[in-house]
Amino acid sequence: MLILTGLRVLQEKQDNYKRFRILGNVSAKINIWDNLNFATRADYDLGNNVQQNFVPSTAGGGLFVAPPQKATGAYNTGNYYSWLNENVLTYNKSINDHNFDALVGYTTQRYMTQGGWLSKTDFPNDDIPWLSAGATVTASGSNTASWTIESLIARLNYDYKGKYLVSAAMRRDGSSRFGADKKWGSFPSVSVGWLVSNEDFLRDHPTISMLKLRASYGLVGNNNIGNYTSIAMMGTTNYVFGGALSQGLSITSLGNTLLSWEKTDQWDIGFDLSLFQNRINLHYDYYHKVTDGMLYPVELPRASGFSAISTNVGAFKFWGHELSVDANIMNRGDFTWNSDFNISFNRNEVVKLGTNDTPIGGYSNQGDFNRTQVGHPIGQFYGYIFDGVYMNQAEFDSQPKHISSKVGTARMKDLNNDGVIDIDDRTFLGDPNPDFIFGFNNTFRYKSWDLGILFTGSVGAKTMAATFENIENLDGVFNMRKEMLQMWRSEEDPGNGQVPRTLTGTTELYRFNNSRWVFDADYLNLKNITIGKTFEFKSDYIRSLRVYGSVQEAFLWTKYPYANPEVSTSGINPLSLGIDQTAYPIPRTYTIGLNVGF
């Protein structure tokens, strides 16, 4: 029997993907009267993609299913278009020391996508990957989706003597994604600033070049809930009529005409400070925001025939500090050195979930890695605390046990002290959100040479190597980590005390989400190195030419033992961050380029 390996899949599976895209825009500006101007802009984005997939019989299979399997092929195609139109009227006026800047506008955007797919099997052999050779259609279909948004915007800026600044804005947005009764939302904002350095008592200060204090408040909306969530959806359903199987339609999800904008209430305070004739510049912000009316699926009684309905329930709190410093460290003759440093401390807390504060996630022992719960940060890891192996009979007799436990099997902590290891002993295992993140950029110039070096880093986050669920599986259905060779075999040969025995019926607890899979994800990344040289020309055609080379992801320092400490299988979904299920590692990229100035 062939053993399915990642190498075989990489070598034999065909997955060809082609993408075509066109971007375009046109704009115009008209001066109507003195300081009254009108500007319009239209953007267009058109794309098409085609994917051809073929898995030969020798690379097919999966959990408990070894190759060879039937060869499969698929052909997927899709296209989309998006257009955006913006129309803005602006007016500015100064009356003595009073300065006004007003804006009103209208914007609209539409997006539409269409797709189709076809899958086949029963190919005569592995040599012909084209769908025409497949005898049996296993799946086919097509879909389409679209959304539109319209916005009315207005803004007024005012300052007095360039020292006292006020800005007020209002926008009213309408989205096709919401219920018929709640498509529109109003979102005001206001900000104030005081340019203290323009006051007489600070105007000629020898150290402080500029000092500005500022504060702001605003309400913003979110409509990213997918398309047609507010509408009851229909799906094909088979039923028996006249003794024969017939195809019909049934409601597959409930609609909610009251579904509306998720709103975030936020205020900020901060300052900007420049020292020593602007050689050092500091920027600081503290923010606090509350997201209310979170777009969230609320569970329904099973008797309703539906599991959930999307509605505006749930609230989250976010706050944090952001600091940045940029400095001209050295400027001597032909040599200059400029640096930029920024650091952010971000925190969050779940305030409300649904009508009964029911947690999101963390219900299953396997595959359900994150839990979002009131009073905790969003999306923390959830599971058992690994406590080694029952090394001998005496340990087994004296310790709490799982229903599957035997001497030599995995042991988890009994957190509720009831003498039994079960689902009630799970807890929070770590936070995928870092304590702080930072960046440090340096630019050096010497005559015609330039050098840029960028570092980024993160401290305090955790990452869950959830692939351990498979590569530490003791049932023999996957390739395993070499550490599994140090398993418990007997009291005389107990292994390393971290890997249990392989006795049938005793291995499931070792596969449950647990603290053994959670690692520190601190890192320092030399993100980019760029070096270049510029040549100046005295020519009517070419003014300058710059040759450069760069390396992206040059070096990574981390204790995380696998490819990428920033990995997140679910992307930026805050409910399921930090899960590593062998996502593709970030490549190191070498670039050589040429910039020409005419």
pLDDT in tens, 443-496: 999 999 999 999 999 999 999 999 999 888 888 767 888 999 999 999 999 999
Distance CA 347, CA 170 (A): 28
Report the pLDDT value the prediction gives residue 246, as an integer from 0 to 100: 83
Phi, psi of 484 (to 5 degrees): -70, -15
pLDDT at 134 over 50: yes
Mean per-residue pLDDT over the chain, rounded: 91
CB 467 within 8 A of CB 479: no
Q: Which two tokens mark 426?
A: 């799970």
Could you tell me the pLDDT band of residue 126, with boundaries at 50, 70 and 90? confident
Q: Which two tokens mark 539?
A: 């020519």
SS3 304: helix
Q: Express as a percent the part of the chain with pLDDT over 90.
A: 68
In 3D space, the residue among 171, 265, 263, 261 whose CA is nearest the CA of residue 216 turns out to be 265
Estimate to the nearest angstrom the gap between the alpha carbon of 410 and the chain centroid.
Answer: 34
pLDDT at 440 over 50: yes
Tokens 């004739």, residue? 277
In 3D space, the residue among 362, 265, 351 whose CA is nearest the CA of residue 313 turns out to be 351
Distance CA 80, CA 112 (A): 6
pLDDT at 375 over 50: yes
Sign of CA pseudo-dihedral 551, 557, 562, 565: negative
Q: Which two tokens mark 598?
A: 């005419």
Report the pLDDT value the prediction gives residue 1, as an integer from 0 to 100: 36
In 3D space, the residue among 400, 393, 277, 375 whose CA is nearest the CA of residue 331 turns out to be 277
Pairing of strands 233-241, 208-222: unpaired
Tokens 């009508």, residue? 355
Sign of CA pseudo-dihedral 476, 477, 482, 484: negative
pLDDT higher for 305 or 343?
A: 343
CB 525 within 8 A of CB 552: no
CB 421 within 8 A of CB 405: yes
Q: What angle do CA 41, 42, 46 make, to 5 degrees?
A: 155
pLDDT at 238 over 50: yes
